[in-house]
Chain A
């Protein structure tokens, strides 16, 4: 088991009477990509700021590469990309990267390689004013990759990007992770990070509601699969008597079942071949899983 780069243990933070973080425990290991999901105000940005050492620490401990947030070791090990960043409009992309190279004490010779990696080599000497939103975000990513950090903190890095830009963005992140960089990125929804991260953690109202792989979350949620059966005329009553479920109208039946009972039910439906017009199977969507963890459980004390 490798030592996690980012180790957050039982962290609570309050602003006055508002509890922004409540007993959050989370760890990210080298090479691992973890998506932190939560709606607006769930505490994602607060958690990031605590990890960056910008906020006075409340209860619990955070360590980055074994050191306190805000310490030199922690700041050198980690880099950050906020959701909205606007670099000075009158600087060129290359000048922006040179600035952060200087602050991080990194060599300027890696700037060309970074610009190339995020696809900005051609625009390197143009003013940031002329960049599109996607280009600015990629410049932000290049900035975050300066000095080969061991932990990338990306706060909703792809919100507002078109699907192609988003895909390119995750490719660069995957390359960084393949080199052993730990990635913690936040997002609004599961769809966006599906297949792009190794693990998912769901934060709601300052508390961590779930964490694991997508498959583990789906299993833990145990959301029921819905099978919608459309019967031929006159057969609906017999089908309902045999299989149960809810009648939607004269010929439609909806049957809910646990994920592992789905196959048996479908086989059973096979016996009524002559009565069936259509079968639709609705597996729980990513959105349903996310909503299950961020809303339903949030209402419990």
Chain B
């Protein structure tokens, strides 16, 4: 079992490296982190906060868009493409278990996203800390950002693999991945903002709305990071971060729940594939 998962893991990780996914993701994330950091350092003095803390806040908001996108791009073709090319039939003809295939792919692609995050945010963080100085709060915020970004990436790798196993064809898988990204990352927030503006006082705004926000894995990631940064300049839906009716760790639990859900669903769909 471990040999088989290890074999699939090794091949998938090698492919992610050879196909330049890791390099590309590292480059994009690193670039954005450094640019945001340099902009943030300018305001840092005025807001009485260090550069790393400020950048962690703005980077959390940006990562919500980038990391799910990178994770979905890396994973959406994983099953569908292999089904179309006939390669999955060969894999499944061997004594491997379906869940082992899913687990190996998931572990490798999550790690690929994770490596990109650690390399990019790690280097950018070190650069910002050395250039503008920081304190223990700043370092803690930055490490929290890296760790939760990795979990967020894993959730969306799981989503991508699940959609890929469900679709069975590359074009369908791509379309559903884009659709999922739009719904969870863009439309969900807009819809919630619209509804809370329509009913700005009452039970909905104070009791239902926060739970609806945190139910979305992308928002949960952002809320967790922002809620723990006191000096974060937040606006719009993120204003909720300072008035949460539950502890920030609840957002972590939501991420964990989503992760288990997509893994369970993904493995179920993988078992139904007819290659």
Neighbouring A residues of B87 by C-beta, 8 Å: 85-88
* A95 and B3 contacting across the interface, CB-CB below 8 Å: no
CA distance in complex: A110, B22 (Å): 32
- Return B82 CB to nearest CB of chain A, in Å: 9
B4, B8, B18, B90: which contacts A80 (Cβ < 8 A)? B90
Neighbouring A residues of B93 by C-beta, 8 Å: 52, 75, 78-80
Chain A, 78-106, contact with B by CB distance < 8 Å: what is the 0/1 string? 11111111111011000100111011110
Nearest neighbor of A106 in chain B, beta-carbon distance? B94
Neighbouring B residues of A99 by C-beta, 8 Å: 7-8, 10-11
Given A86-B85, A105-B95, A54 contacting B7 (CB threshold 8 A):
no
7 pairs of A and B residues whose beta carbons are closest in the complex: A102-B7, A103-B94, A90-B18, A80-B93, A86-B85, A75-B95, A85-B86
Asked whether A162 is an interface residue with its Cβ less than 8 Å from the other chain, the reply is no
CA distance in complex: A214, B186 (Å): 66
Asked whether B274 is an interface residue with its Cβ less than 8 Å from the other chain, the reply is yes
- Return A293 CB to nearest CB of chain B, in Å: 29
Nearest neighbor of B96 in chain A, beta-carbon distance? A103
* 17 residue pairs A–B, Cβ–Cβ below 8 Å: A54-B89, A54-B274, A55-B274, A75-B93, A80-B90, A80-B93, A82-B90, A91-B15, A100-B90, A102-B7, A102-B10, A103-B4, A103-B8, A103-B94, A105-B4, A105-B95, A140-B90
Given A55-B274, A88-B15, A90-B19, A143 contacting B89 (CB threshold 8 A):
no
Asked whether A280 is an interface residue with its Cβ less than 8 Å from the other chain, the reply is no
Asked whether A72 is an interface residue with its Cβ less than 8 Å from the other chain, the reply is yes
Asked whether B92 is an interface residue with its Cβ less than 8 Å from the other chain, the reply is yes
Neighbouring A residues of B274 by C-beta, 8 Å: 49, 54-55
CA distance in complex: A90, B4 (Å): 21
Neighbouring B residues of A75 by C-beta, 8 Å: 93-95
* B11 and A143 contacting across the interface, CB-CB below 8 Å: no
User: Which of B3, B6, B14, B94 lies at the interface centre, i.e. has the most chain A CB atoms within 10 A of its CB?
Assistant: B94
CA distance in complex: A83, B74 (Å): 28
* B11 and A95 contacting across the interface, CB-CB below 8 Å: yes
A residues within 8 Å of B by Cβ?
Answer: 49, 52, 54-55, 72, 75-76, 78-88, 90-91, 95, 98-100, 102-105, 140, 143
CA distance in complex: A216, B256 (Å): 66
Nearest neighbor of A85 in chain B, beta-carbon distance? B86
- Return B60 CB to nearest CB of chain A, in Å: 34
- B interface majority secondary structure: helix
Chain B, 134-154, contact with A by CB distance < 8 Å: what is the 0/1 string? 000000000000000000000
* A84 and B86 contacting across the interface, CB-CB below 8 Å: yes
* A52 and B89 contacting across the interface, CB-CB below 8 Å: yes
* A85 and B19 contacting across the interface, CB-CB below 8 Å: no
Neighbouring A residues of B86 by C-beta, 8 Å: 82-86
- Return B196 CB to nearest CB of chain A, in Å: 47
* B7 and A103 contacting across the interface, CB-CB below 8 Å: yes
Asked whether B91 is an interface residue with its Cβ less than 8 Å from the other chain, the reply is yes
* B94 and A104 contacting across the interface, CB-CB below 8 Å: yes
CA distance in complex: A90, B21 (Å): 13
Known: A52-B92, A85-B90, A95-B11. 6 other contacts (CB 8 A): A79-B94, A88-B87, A91-B11, A99-B10, A103-B91, A140-B90
- Return B96 CB to nearest CB of chain A, in Å: 5
Neighbouring B residues of A88 by C-beta, 8 Å: 11, 15, 87
Neighbouring A residues of B275 by C-beta, 8 Å: 54
User: Which of B6, B11, B93, B274 lies at the interface centre, i.e. has the most chain A CB atoms within 10 A of its CB?
Assistant: B93
* A80 and B14 contacting across the interface, CB-CB below 8 Å: no
CA distance in complex: A100, B89 (Å): 12
CA distance in complex: A78, B8 (Å): 20
Neighbouring B residues of A105 by C-beta, 8 Å: 3-4, 95
